[in-house]
């Protein structure tokens, strides 16, 4: 059976279209893409800006004022991406990288969340002094006056310290030498959080020493008693 040239041409076009469709179907599948977000905090509930997220040594994202750093990654299903975290100055960066495994999400716009913690290298240490009976006393740190108690014996002083630091404070009684105890000292240690610690001390005034009783000189011993010659001038 013979076919016309027009019929043969139509069949050729159909073959081309089918072939093209077959090439698309057999071509490489699109790699999955996943939205992720890094959420940085210095303390629970305290967002931290300026945290850099690096992949293979290059900055991939930086957290903003809300502590968030959104990122889109593309790769094979199940592929793992390692991200290093560089915290701003004054904060300790995590030593281990964050491993992100590429998974299909519930839908477009759904981002997997990865928390990041940048611990402050220094913490606030506030010491509240309550010196009962110790008004107007200098508070010394490393031999230098950093505060002075008021008329009620109250004072406070603030430091920035590392978790391993210790602060020794002394209530100096040199100007009031009758107070007891004399110049008490208390040590305070840093921690992984901000602290408000008390320095409570009770002072008493030394009672005046009683004067020693006067010591009388011993009386001279009595003369010996013996016969007395009354008429020694008489013959």
Q: What is the mean pLDDT of residues 17-41?
A: 64
Using DSSP's 3-state secondary structure scheme, residue 10 falls into helix
DSSP-assigned beta bridge partners for residue 186: 169
What is the per-residue pLDDT for 26?
Answer: 45
- The residue ranking higher by pLDDT, 34 or 172, is 172
Domain limits, the chain: 33-120, 123-205
Got the DSSP string for 141-205? ETTEEEEE--TTSEEEEEEEE-TT-EEEEEE--TTSTTEES-S-EEEEE--SS-EEEEEEEE-EE
Reply yes or no on whether the pLDDT at 209 is more than 60.
Answer: yes
Long-range contact set of residues 230-234: C-beta below 8 Å, sequence gap at least 24: none
Strand (E) or helix (H) holding 11: helix 5-26
Task: Work out the burial of residue 187: count CB atoms within 10 Å of its CB; fewer than 13 is exposed, 13-18 middle, 19 or more buried.
Answer: exposed
Average pLDDT, the chain: 85
Strand (E) or helix (H) holding 23: helix 5-26
pLDDT band at 103, cuts 50/70/90? confident
Using DSSP's 3-state secondary structure scheme, residue 77 falls into coil
Listed in order, strand segments (DSSP E) in 89-133 are 91-92, 98-101, 112-117, 119-120, 123-132
Q: Could you give phi then psi for residue 83, rounded to 5 degrees?
A: -120, 125
Top-level class of domain 123-205: mainly beta
Reply yes or no on whether the pLDDT at 119 is more than 70.
Answer: yes
What is the per-residue pLDDT for 141?
Answer: 98
The answer to whether domain 33-120 has CATH 2.60.40.2070 is yes
Whether 33-120 shares its CATH topology with 123-205 is answered yes
User: What share of the chain in percent tops pLDDT 90?
Assistant: 67
- The residue ranking higher by pLDDT, 94 or 208, is 94
What is the per-residue pLDDT for 109?
Answer: 66
Q: What is the mean pLDDT of residues 119-143?
A: 97
pLDDT in tens, 56-71: 999 999 999 999 999 9
What is the pTM (predicted TM-score) of this model? Answer: 0.68
What is the per-residue pLDDT for 24?
Answer: 42
In this structure, are strands 179-180 and 144-148 parallel, antiparallel, or unpaired?
Answer: unpaired
């Amino acid at each position: 059976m013979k076919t016309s040239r027009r019929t043969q041409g139509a069949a050729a076009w159909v073959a081309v279209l089918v072939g093209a469709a077959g090439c698309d179907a057999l071509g490489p599948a699109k790699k999955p893409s996943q939205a992720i977000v890094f959420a940085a905090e210095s303390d629970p509930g305290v967002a931290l800006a300026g945290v850099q997220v690096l992949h293979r040594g290059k900055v991939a994202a930086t957290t903003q004022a809300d502590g968030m750093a959104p990122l889109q990654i593309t790769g094979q299903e199940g592929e793992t991406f390692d991200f290093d975290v560089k915290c701003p100055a004054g904060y300790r960066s995590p030593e281990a990288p964050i491993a992100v495994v590429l998974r299909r999400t519930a839908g477009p716009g759904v981002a997997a969340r990865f928390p990041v913690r940048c611990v402050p290298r220094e913490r606030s240490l506030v010491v509240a002094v309550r010196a009962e009976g110790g008004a107007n006393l200098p508070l010394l740190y490393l031999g230098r006056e950093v505060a002075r108690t008021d008329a009620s014996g109250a004072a406070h002083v603030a430091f920035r310290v590392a978790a391993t630091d210790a602060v020794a404070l002394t209530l100096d009684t040199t100007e009031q030498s009758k107070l007891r105890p004399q110049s008490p000292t208390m040590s305070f240690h840093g921690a992984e959080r901000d602290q408000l610690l008390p320095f409570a001390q009770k002072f008493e005034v030394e009672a005046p020493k009683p004067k020693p009783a006067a010591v009388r000189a011993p009386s001279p011993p009595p003369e010996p008693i013996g016969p007395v010659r009354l008429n020694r001038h008489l013959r």
